[in-house]
A and B are shown apart, each in its own frame.
Chain A
Amino acid sequence: MWSDVKVAFVAGTDIVSQMIYAASILMFVVFMLYGQRIQMYVMIREVENSLRKLKFIKEEGRKTAIETIKEIGKPETDPSSKVDRFLEYFTIAPQSMDPAGIVYKLDHILDVRDSRLKDEVKLMAPASDEVQVNNLENTLEAAMALNFIYRVVRHFYIQGKKTLSLYIIMQLQMILPLVMKEAEAYSSALKAFAYGQPIGDGVGPLVAGKLMHGFETRRVPKDCVVASVPFEGRTALVVKARGPGGNVGKPGDAIKELIEENKGKIANVIMIDAGLKLEGEIVGEVAEGIGAAIGGPGVDAYKIEEALVKYKIPVNAIIVREDIGDAVSPMRKEIADAADSVIERLKSVVQERTKEGDKIIIVGVGNTIGVGQ
């Protein structure tokens, strides 16, 4: 029998070995001529599967948003068409050919966007209070982000299929794992926003909340609160976005106003935020550094740096490491537990970098959803 098998592989005279030999030659020719095309079809298939999943996530997001609006906002009419219109909103960034003054132009555009979105939410959900409006706005923004991701991926997929360009499909297929990770993160954010649960990004406000809890607070622009708290023999002006609704506030304006109020007599500004972790790093790890720890489009960082430079105030940062998925999904236990470690680190920074009796500003940066004060 072994000789029969051997004969089959060495192109013998029997029909089976002849067929196998012909098939292998045919396969060689097919792969030589159409190898790239076959590879492209495999990639298109992969992209198609991810696109199907993205569509599912996007539709779930839309459904969650509509259900939450119906449940909380008690609208008289079906909000579906309004939600669909909301999901298609876009923001045009200011012209940057002459970049002078662009920060304030961008700031204005973002303010207009924010008030427009809030007005739309109020119209969609008339029975909702301020906290719920903020939460609903965040929910719809997450649904909006999912809708945008889906539309962009679909655009490149169809373009790649139409042109049969390996390079368009290949680029899309290469970045898809990261895109999918982001989409999954937004999908879990949706539920958190809909229920008003604290998210990983809220670790800064959580620390600030722990410091200011029990002390009198006052509002500072925009959508922020501040409390004067005795801290390690110093006076700490603790700032955070006003909770518990989904809100990041404008810490840039708040810090600027506090510095001006105190005529620049601030010994140190310490900012606490969630920082993106690299793969291999531990979630909830606390790290310390220098600079304005604040994300977003850069408007707040610019304003903070401007005020700090004017009075030569040092700025320190403490971050809690987490990935994008953790930052926008319900807060993990490791991150919630890290708040106490941040306070310990804060104590040592204050003791090392300032003198007793100094006035300092501590800012908890991030979305304060589910975190009061």
Chain B
Amino acid sequence: MSTNSSNTANRISTFLLMIILGVLALSIVAIIFGVQAYLIENETVALYLFAIGFLSLGLAVYVLFQTRKRVKKMKIEDPKVMTTVECKKCGTKDIREFERGDFVFKELDKCDKCEENKIITAIYKEVKEKEKPFTI
């Protein structure tokens, strides 16, 4: 059930796809008519038909790519979470990826340099700000 629903959520709407394909077909027809009009030396009509044809062709392709991009974007990204392990006695600090079972203040095995137990001092994710900060 869950897989099916995810697929339903992921797919491009049939209605939208049909509109895009319709516009694509019409734009190609417009370009063909434009060529015909140009060949019989009706330049004004040819100009209009070319303009309409290329504009709608561009628009249809743009909408199609945008929709595909939106579908691709529909996934939940797991942030990379890091664990800081420290030895309080000798000050050795090690940063590694989070492992299930880690928690802050958890005592780990003995330090390589001294006999003290290492301890998890922080678990965090680093976020790179995508948005521009507002300076007003």
Chain A interface residues toward B at CB < 8 A:
1, 4-5, 8, 14, 16, 49, 52-53, 55-57, 59-60, 62-63, 66, 187-188, 191, 195-198, 206, 209, 213, 243-244, 279-280, 329-333, 335-336, 370-373
Which A residues lie within 8 Å of B5 (CB)? 55-56, 59
Contact B8 A209 (CB under 8 A): no
CB proximity of B131 to chain A, nearest CB, Å:
10
- B 73-89 binary contact with A (CB < 8 Å = 1; else 0): 01010110100000000
Is B114 in the interface zone, CB < 8 Å from A?
no
- B 83-120 binary contact with A (CB < 8 Å = 1; else 0): 00000000000000010111111100000000000000
Q: List 11 A-B contacts (CB under 8 A).
A: A4-B43, A52-B74, A53-B74, A59-B5, A187-B76, A195-B81, A196-B102, A198-B104, A206-B104, A372-B104, A372-B106
Give the complex CA separation of A197 and B98 in angstroms: 8
Which B residues lie within 8 Å of A371 (CB)? 103-105
CB proximity of B132 to chain A, nearest CB, Å:
12
The segment from B23-31, B44-52, B57-65 that touches chain A is: B44-52
Give the complex CA separation of A244 and B44 in angstroms: 76
A56-B5, A56-B10, A333-B125 given; 17 more Cβ-contact pairs under 8 Å: A1-B43, A5-B47, A8-B44, A52-B9, A52-B74, A59-B2, A59-B9, A188-B76, A195-B81, A195-B98, A196-B102, A209-B105, A280-B136, A329-B79, A332-B124, A333-B126, A370-B104
Chain B interface residues toward A at CB < 8 A:
2, 5-6, 8-10, 43-45, 47-48, 70, 74, 76, 78-79, 81, 98, 100-106, 122-127, 134, 136
Contact A60 B122 (CB under 8 A): no
Contact A59 B105 (CB under 8 A): no
Which B residues lie within 8 Å of A331 (CB)? 123-125
Smallest CB gap from B78: residue in A = A191
CB proximity of A58 to chain B, nearest CB, Å:
8
Which of B45, B79, B101, B103 lies at the interface centre, i.e. has the most chain A CB atoms within 10 A of its CB?
B103
Which B residues lie within 8 Å of A336 (CB)? 122-124
Contact B101 A196 (CB under 8 A): yes
Which A residues lie within 8 Å of B104 (CB)? 198, 206, 209, 244, 370-372
Which A residues lie within 8 Å of B105 (CB)? 209, 213, 244, 371-373
Give the complex CA separation of A330 and B124 in angstroms: 7
Cβ contact of B123, chosen from A16, A188, A280, A370, cutoff 8 A: A370
CB proximity of A137 to chain B, nearest CB, Å:
17
Give the complex CA separation of A206 and B124 in angstroms: 12
CB proximity of B71 to chain A, nearest CB, Å:
9
Which B residues lie within 8 Å of A372 (CB)? 103-106
Give the complex CA separation of A244 and B83 in angstroms: 15
